[in-house]
């Protein structure tokens, strides 16, 4: 009942606040000519008083009275003309429509609320919600509980460590930075904490690996030189700063040291190719592409493209060549073009894999020919005997 009374009072108050301004009457504006008429009348009265006191003679008074009267008549005519001007009047229909709209809004709102609202739902103060068992809290309430706990226990390192990644996931990187810093201060240094701190600092800078974040990632790398994540962030930062040579060298180091089946190898190889192109200022040379397999018309089309479009076209052609060899595995010339293409694109692992697949399907004389190509490309010795695999 208290709810309905409060809601009714608030509705009436809000409606009156809207209706009261609509009931006000707007005064008709007074024109300048009407003011002039009043001024000239006052001047005539002052002139009569001056003449009675002897401040002005009768002849001068008559002359002044005639001039003031002439101006008075002119202003009076102009004032009458102003009154005759038809001013727009408020539309009665518009006023009633406005009134009906204002009254209909609360009535409709109340009707909808009685259908879909929950007026009998008990109040849920935050303190009571936080006092419930954790499994009955929403994620937001759990975060509020943790924050309330850390306000009272700021030296709880475990609490900060639990809350830090949550802050990062829900889009509060600045709070995540503070939480990770507290976790490091209270729990000690570790690779995971340093990586989390660096990632939070990067997210707080809208994805930019700042010098401070780079220092954190380098520190994490000192704690575990084999951790790939720190190196990935460092590479990203160097690419943002334009240190392309350093980024390329680190990617090459990662590709050499990482196992062959790591899921990120293709992405790293593609990034290495792009870096090589950017550092050299161009895509793979057209003559090298021609040797790798595309025909003359494709080479001519590639020559008129931008570096990025040209590289993409070459990648598509190489992928198409690899697909054709699945249908015609006895095409030794196709295998030669595919291996050369991978070398041109700086994908030596793919070239070695292609050689291995070719040796499993080609005859001995064709394998010998392919071995000669591998030796020319510096791939000799990289591939073991396929019969022993």
- Spatial distance between the Cα atoms of 342 and 273, rounded to a whole number of angstroms: 11
- 375: tokens are 């030796």
Residue with tokens 């929403």: 138
Ordered DSSP codes for 344-355 = HTT-HHHHHHHH
Q: Is 114 exposed, middle or buried (0-12, 13-18, 19+ CB in 10 A)?
A: exposed
Per DSSP, which regions of the chain are E strands?
none
Three-class secondary structure of residue 106 per DSSP: helix
Q: How far is CA 50 from the centre of its chain?
A: 81
Q: Would you state the pLDDT for residue 90?
A: 52
Residues of the chain falling short of pLDDT 70? 1-4, 7, 18-31, 82-92, 94, 110, 114, 117-139, 141, 281-314, 380-389
Angstrom distances, CA of residue 343 to CA of 88, 187, 319, 348: 84, 49, 14, 6
267 touches 291 (CB < 8 A): no
Q: Which is nearest to 335 in space by CA: 371, 302, 381?
A: 371
Q: Would you state the pLDDT for residue 302?
A: 46
Three-class secondary structure of residue 140 per DSSP: helix
Rounded (10°) CA dihedral 164, 168, 172, 176: 30
Ordered DSSP codes for 253-280 = HHHHHS-TT-TTHHHHHHHHHHHHHHHH
DSSP code for 293:
S
pTM: 0.42
- Spatial distance between the Cα atoms of 214 and 199, rounded to a whole number of angstroms: 10
Q: Would you state the pLDDT for residue 253?
A: 83
321 touches 314 (CB < 8 A): no
Buried residues in 174-203 as b, exposed as e (16+ CB within 10 A): ebbbbbbbbbbeeeeeebbbbbbbbbbbbb
DSSP code for 40:
H
Three-class secondary structure of residue 330 per DSSP: coil
Q: Would you state the pLDDT for residue 290?
A: 40
- Both ends of the chain: CA-CA distance in Å? 84
- Spatial distance between the Cα atoms of 131 and 146, rounded to a whole number of angstroms: 12
Q: Which is nearest to 11 in space by CA: 98, 102, 88, 79?
A: 102
């Amino acid at each position: 009942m208290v709810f309905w009374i409060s809601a009714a009072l608030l509705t009436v108050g809000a409606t009156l606040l809207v209706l009261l301004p609509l009931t006000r009457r707007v005064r008709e504006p007074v024109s300048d000519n009407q003011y002039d008429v009043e001024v000239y009348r006052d001047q005539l009265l002052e002139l009569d008083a001056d003449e009675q006191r002897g401040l002005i003679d009768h002849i001068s008074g008559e002359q002044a009275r005639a001039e003031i009267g002439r101006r008075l008549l002119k202003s009076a005519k102009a004032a009458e003309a102003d009154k005759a001007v038809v001013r727009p009047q408020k539309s009665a229909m518009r006023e009633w429509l406005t009134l009906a709209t204002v009254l209909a809004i609360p009535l409709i709102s109340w009707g909808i609320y009685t259908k879909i609202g929950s007026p009998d739902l008990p109040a849920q103060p935050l303190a009571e919600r936080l006092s419930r068992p954790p499994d009955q809290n929403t994620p937001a309430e759990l975060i509020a509980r943790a924050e309330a706990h850390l306000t009272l226990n700021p030296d709880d390192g475990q609490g900060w460590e639990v809350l830090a990644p949550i802050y990062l996931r829900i889009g509060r990187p600045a709070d995540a930075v503070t939480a990770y810093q507290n976790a490091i201060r209270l729990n000690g240094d570790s690779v995971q904490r340093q990586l989390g701190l660096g990632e939070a600092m990067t997210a707080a800078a809208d994805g930019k690996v700042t010098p401070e974040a780079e220092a954190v990632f380098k520190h994490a790398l000192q704690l575990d030189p084999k951790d790939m994540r720190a190196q990935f962030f460092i590479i990203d930062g160097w690419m943002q700063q334009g240190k392309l040579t350093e980024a390329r060298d680190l990617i090459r180091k990662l590709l050499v040291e990482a196992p062959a089946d790591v899921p990120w190898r293709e992405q790293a190889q593609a990034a290495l190719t792009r870096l090589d192109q950017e550092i050299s200022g161009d895509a793979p040379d057209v003559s090298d592409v021609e040797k790798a397999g595309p025909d003359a018309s494709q080479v001519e089309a590639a020559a008129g493209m931008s570096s990025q479009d040209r590289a993409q076209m070459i990648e598509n052609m190489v992928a198409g060549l690899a697909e054709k060899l699945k249908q015609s595995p006895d095409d030794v010339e196709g295998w030669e073009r595919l291996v050369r293409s991978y070398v041109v694109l700086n994908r030596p692992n793919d070239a070695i894999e292609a050689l291995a697949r070719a040796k499993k399907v080609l005859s001995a004389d064709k394998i010998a020919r392919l071995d000669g190509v591998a030796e020319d490309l510096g791939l000799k010795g990289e591939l073991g005997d396929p019969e022993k695999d």
